[in-house]
Every structure is written in C-alpha cells, then in structure tokens.
Amino acid sequence: MNSTQQLYSRPTDWLHEGQLAPYVDAFTHYLSERRYAPHTVDTYLSCITHFARWMSQCQLDIHCIDENVVQRFLENHLPQCACTKPVHRTRSNLRAALRHLLVVLRDEAVIAELVWGTTPIDEELRRFDDHMNQVHGLAPATRSMYLRTVCRLLLEQFGDRPVVLSAITPEDVRRFVASQSELYSTPGSAGSLISALRGYFRFRITCGDQMHALIGVVSYPANWQLASLPQALSSAEIERLEDSLGWEGPSAHRANAMVRCALDLGLRCGEIARLALDDVDWRAGTITLRRTKGRREDILPLPEATGCAIADYLKLERPQTTSRAVFVRHVAPCDQPIGPDCVRKAIRQAYARAGLPYTRAHLLRHTMASRLLAGGSSLKEVADVLRHRSLNTTLIYAKLDSRNLAAVALPWPGCAS
C-alpha cells in the first residue's frame, strides 16, 4: 500500500478530507431538498467519493472542474479503474451524481458557469439559434434539433477553422445529406434534416450570403402521407383499454388520468405534460391548452370521465408540491412537472395491461378522430377538436369516414346494379 492509500485508509476520507469536503453538506442538502431517497443520497456520496479520489490522484484543482473533466473521468478513468475497493463504479450513477455536483459547485460560485464554446462554429450556431428564437419563434426542441444538424455540417466542412459559407459547394451538401440520411428510418423523419439545412441557408441569405444554389440542392424526400389508412383502435380495443384503467399500483391514478386525456380529448403527450392546475375550470367544465403545437390557446370541454380521473389523482395520489403542474413527478427530483416521455410510458403500459399490440401514444389521437367521424361529425368539426390549423391536415381521416364514403361509392364495374 503506498503512502497516499495509507493516508486515506477509509473510503470517505477521500471526500471529507479532500477539496470537496466544504461542499458535502451543500450537496446532501441539494439532494434532500429534491426528495431523493436516503439510499440514493448515500449512493451519490459514494460516487463523488470515487471522483474525489481520482481528483487527488490527478492533482486536479477544484476550480478547474467542468463537464470536460467529468467526461475524462467517465471515458478515460472508469473503464480501466484500478482504485482500491470499495469504490462505486456504476456509470449511470456516477454520471448523475457528478451532474448534480456541478450544479452545486456553480451555485456555490466555486466553478465558472456553463457557457457556449468560443470556436467559430460555436459563434455561428449561437447566431443561428438567436435567429430561430427571435425571428421565427421556434420551439426549443426544434431549435436544438436544427442546431445538431447544422453543427454536423459545419464540423465536417470546417473543423476548427473559420466558417466561410462560400466555400461550401452543392456537391458538398449532396454528400452530407447522403451520409446523414442513414440516420433516419423513414422519409418523413428525414424531412427534418432538410428543414434544418434549408432554415440555416435562408438565415445566411438574410446575412447577405448567396446561398440560393445550396437551397436548390436540398429537396424534401418523397413522402406519401395519405398513402395509408391512419391506424386507430377498434370499439372492442377501446373497451379493453378502458377496462384496464381500474388497476392498482404505484402512480395508477396519474397514469389513468393521462390515458383519459389522450383517449377522450385527443391531447398530445406534450400538452398533457404541460397541463397546469389553473388550466382546469371545474365550474365551467372546460380545460385550457396553452403553448400548443399551433402556438395558440384552446379551450376544450372536459368530459366527465376525464374530469373524474384527474380529480381522483389530485385528491388521492398527487404528492404535496409547490409545482402548479397537474401531473408532477412522484420520485426525485420532486416539485417538478413530468415530461412527455412519462406520458408515453403510461400509455404504452396501458396498452400492455389491456393486451393490445401497440406502442405509439399518438394512436389515441387517431382514435379520437375516428370516433368523431363514426358519430357523424364533419371533417371541419374533427379539425376543430384536434386543433388543426389547416383542414388539409385533417383530410387523411376522410378515409375513415365509412358513412359518407359509402354514400358516394360507385357500383363495381360489371356487377348487377
């Protein structure tokens, strides 16, 4: 055993006697405030103990810690870690604990705030992001996706050199699109690649660059959106799904209410996740959707079954929280609304309990449209309920309107009329 290992004979010595010692209490308080379970707090303390040991071995100063240092620890040290036991080596726990540690150290003003990079490409992406946000008002998720695509293009063309758009040729763009198309499984998903490139080239035109030749190179892939029937649940499958909602288990009331919102109102997963307590008017029996995909506020009637499911969740299962969101996290970090992925997971699990071979949450939105048409609603009424800006978006459901299609169907050639 070397002298350093003798000095730190206990595992916790690396933490409580090292550079992180003054911030252990702040780290523990940060996790406890967000209602992390005691055993999770202990696990994360073990994780940063391993990190503290590595810092000591590398003689790293605490003020130099950032995402790059954490990446070095995870990518270089962890795979060939030879630290004496006991040390925590679970990568997912280490990554999570160190992410929290960086937040705490920044709150304590120990390390610098996270800032954009300073390379020419970083500067270019920052300007493009500002343009998308301030001029076009694109959603953060859309901007992030566009930035990733443009970043790959610029890195391939320029690396760490200055960005000179006039140096990009149409052939360069063709090769880039061909290489990136392998990342997309359908023509529809590949359309996002083209949208990102065309949006960036148009941005550069506003800056005075001649980019029309490059815009002409990128065209959207053929995507026959109306070629197939939209998939929807049958009446028997809907009944099976509704029967499965009476289950008992952790977060059962929350899952039931979220499935009801999708099935009865045709809400998107993101819209369900963003519902706030102030959006539900119990006296008027309405629900207000804010920050929707169409960037509008819409008021919908609240069906009795949906309202009862939401009320049961609020009364019986929703934890005490300062969040004004209807659906909140039940596990740490608490006091935060759920995300769309939580809604998708709840719907997939509902399918499984009902014995249905489906996975897509959006299927319930198609089912809503199908039920409206079967009940005699017009396409305009379906468009209003689904909140489509253009009636063309709703036309795909015309194929499901069996009642009206039967009225205009012509007899089969050669048959007796």
Q: pLDDT tens for residues 18-31? A: 889 899 999 999 99
- 293 carries an active-site annotation: yes
Residues 194 and 222: their CA atoms lie apart, in Å, by: 12
374 neighbors 403 (Cβ within 8 angstroms) = yes
Which pTM does this prediction carry? 0.72
Which of 50, 88, 100, 268 is catalytic? The answer is 268
Q: What is the DSSP string of 346-410?
A: HHHHHHHHHT-----TTHHHHHHHHHHHHTT--HHHHHHHHT-SSHHHHGGGGGG-HHHHHHHPP
Structural domain spans, the chain: 3-107, 120-217, 235-404
Which of 100, 143, 254, 388 is catalytic? The answer is 388
- Which residues, listed in sequence order, are joined to residue 276 by a DSSP beta bridge? 325
| Predicted local confidence at residue 224, as pLDDT | 66
Residues 359 and 198: their CA atoms lie apart, in Å, by: 32
Is CATH 3.20.20.70 what the domain over 120-217 is classified as, yes or no?
no
The terminus-to-terminus CA distance of the chain in angstroms comes to 97
Neighbours of 145 (CB within 10 A): 16
| Predicted local confidence at residue 406, as pLDDT | 62
| Predicted local confidence at residue 279, as pLDDT | 95
- 345 carries an active-site annotation: no
- 388 carries an active-site annotation: yes
Side-chain half-sphere CA neighbours of 223 within 13 A: 13
- 362 carries an active-site annotation: yes
Neighbours of 270 (CB within 10 A): 15
Q: Which fold has domain 235-404?
A: hpI Integrase; Chain A (1.10.443)
* Spans of the chain, pLDDT less than 70: 1-14, 115-117, 185, 187-188, 223-229, 293-295, 392, 398-410, 414-417
- Which residues 6+ apart lie within 8 Å of 349 measured at CB? 255
Which CA distances in Å does 334 have to 151, 160, 255?
Answer: 34, 41, 17
